[in-house]
Amino acid sequence: MVWVLGILWVPHQPHETGATLVKDGRIVASINEDRLTGVKHDSSLPINSVKEVLRIANIDPSQIDAVTIPFENPTWYYMRSLNIKNVLRIPHALIENRTLRAYLKGFGIDCPVYYVNHHLSHAASAYYTSGWNEATVITMDGTGDGIASTVYVGKDGDLREIAKTPEKDSPGFFYAKATAAIGFKANDGEGKTMGLACYGNPDILYAEVAKLIDVRDLKFVGNFGKTMYSHKIDFTDGKLFARYRYDTSFMSDNPFMKFVGKYKNEDIAAAAQKVLEDVAVKLVKNAVKITKMPKVCLAGGVALNVKINQRIKENDSVEDVFIHPNPGDAGVQAGSALYMCNKIMREQGSFKPWRMEHVYYGSEYSDEEIEIEIENFGLAFEKLASPAKTGAELVDSGKVVGWFQGRLEYGPRALGNRSVVADPRVAGMRDRINKYLKKRDWFMPFAPSMLAERHSEYSVKATDAPFMILAFDATEQANKDIPAVVHVDKTLRPQTVKREINQPYYDLIKEFENRTGVGAVLNTSFNKHGLPMIMKPKDAIDHLVWGCVEELIISKYRVFRKFK
């Protein structure tokens, strides 16, 4: 039995910290610090996260065989963020090892600590959860350990790097520059850029934007190939990691600024989106041509872009694609732990591919704990004979329902355990939820959770899609039945739900289908704008009291927005 604890913590850097426990190559528990503190994208030392994954797994800290950090040298990052020169002369252990060792011993953890390359951690998060023995593994993001993108060959449990791109040629920063130029927050608002792009015409600026980034031919030599991207601007702005200190640094020397004011923001976004889609597809095609492995694993922040993922999956060179459900930096601690655990297992001759089928690795609460919390609020409630039937009735009647069941989801998507659900048949439902719960930009779409067996009726070229990480073209049936979750470009980003994976959520959707004939509901994460996804029963009840949802079902309980 092998236990590995992955910890994401980089001193003085705004990474969303957290912890993951891996046992014998499989994730057992994983949570990010912001779920526990209520501070969105919390970057503090993940004390609460480590405590929680140990509690969930119910293991003694002495059982942990190794601890991993998903950076080769976090101290180096810290020094660079302060613009300290001659970084490499500063001993690595000077700042970080001493703090980390004391931190771990405080939990009773005394085992080797391994620093795993950032992009290797990304690659591992996808490869070791894909269930495939052989795959082309590609990472694309802003930066990590000075690298922006990599190509790996995954085979027999081993990951071998064959190409990489320096951070100055970062595809993630290319898109972040576009995001900043049109007024969104870089390294956070890229999803808005993707949403707005669907309202623009990419052809207006495509030729100009395409000059900024391209993919070099991949001519691999042994274990290393040439860099994959090239462009005519330096995305470091000539400053050592100044971009991490001030979001406005993305505005300096920003090539997209010359388009602002002359063209519509949606046209700028559309061009940036299409260019990045094209270069990502070109990279994948080139890589697959070299590796001769048409199954592709994706991770890194760019893999959060569901339209890029769709283009890659539909490319003729690709047999199938697996995207890790938490592909951004919030998932690298899981990747580093998976890498080390599988390395140990491979050395023991016990490696076996494993397919991740769900993301329910967080905290869970008993009915007794839930009832005590409701009583503490003094609110009226009832115990339901069938939460699914009651939930379906409420959704059918037009209510916006908070749905709280089982274990908290790992990753950025609510997938039926900490979700807000509503009627997808009503096109105006999108604006209503945005106004009262999300307070998001008007152009941002919502996603459907649908019965897996109905997916082909609603999605073109339907394949299993349990994580809301892939876009599909919508069918005419989807445009008719579920207009609230079909984006303006006639695509949707579904979660396919199977009863054997999540029975309560499946039953809710099935009951809604029984009432309406529609096998899907509108799903969005259960959180007020500016807050992380809820974790505890108290968080859910707070949202009901605040008026963010109209109804609340927690486990078997319906909670009313009135006192006893």
Q: What is the largest CA-CA distance in the chain?
A: 72
The pTM (predicted TM-score) of the whole model is 0.91
Q: Which fold has domain 3-69+73-115?
A: Nucleotidyltransferase; domain 5 (3.30.420)
Q: Which fold has domain 133-319?
A: Nucleotidyltransferase; domain 5 (3.30.420)
pLDDT at 216: 67
Cβ atoms of 494 and 331 within 8 Å: the answer is no
Cβ atoms of 405 and 504 within 8 Å: the answer is yes
Q: Which of 361, 260, 443 is nearest to 18 (CA)?
A: 361
Query: Residues 411-454: pLDDT tens digits?
Result: 999 999 999 999 999 988 988 888 777 777 888 889 999 999 99
Indicate the domain borders of the chain.
3-69+73-115, 133-319, 367-563
DSSP 443: T
In one-letter notation, the amino acid at residue 482 is: I
Query: Residues 126-176: pLDDT tens digits?
Result: 999 999 999 999 999 988 888 889 999 999 999 999 888 888 788 898 999
Name the CATH superfamily housing domain 367-563: Carbamoyltransferase, C-terminal domain (3.90.870.20)
Please indicate whether the domains covering 3-69+73-115 and 367-563 agree at the CATH topology level. no
Count of alpha carbons within 13 Å of 323, Cβ hemisphere only? 28
CA 534 distance to own-chain centroid: 16
Q: In whole angstroms, give the CA distance from residue 317 to residue 315.
A: 6
The CA angle 192-248-232, to the nearest 5 degrees, is 85
Question: What is the SS3 assignment for 372?
Answer: helix
Cβ atoms of 421 and 449 within 8 Å: the answer is yes
Question: Parallel, antiparallel, or unpaired: how do β-strands 147-155 and 158-166 relate?
Answer: antiparallel
User: What pLDDT tens digit does each residue of the chain (564 aa) get?
Assistant: 999 999 998 765 667 899 999 999 999 999 999 999 999 989 888 999 999 999 999 999 999 999 999 988 655 444 444 444 443 433 344 445 667 778 888 889 999 999 999 999 999 999 999 999 999 999 999 888 888 899 999 999 999 998 888 887 888 989 999 999 999 988 889 999 999 999 999 999 999 998 888 776 654 433 334 455 554 433 333 332 223 333 345 666 788 999 999 999 999 999 999 999 998 999 999 899 989 999 999 999 999 999 999 999 999 999 999 999 999 999 999 999 999 999 999 999 888 899 999 999 999 999 999 999 999 999 999 999 999 999 999 999 999 999 999 999 999 999 999 999 999 999 889 888 887 777 778 888 899 999 999 999 999 999 999 999 999 999 999 999 999 999 999 999 999 999 999 999 999 999 999 999 999 999 999 999 889 999 999 999 999 999 999 999 999 999 999 877
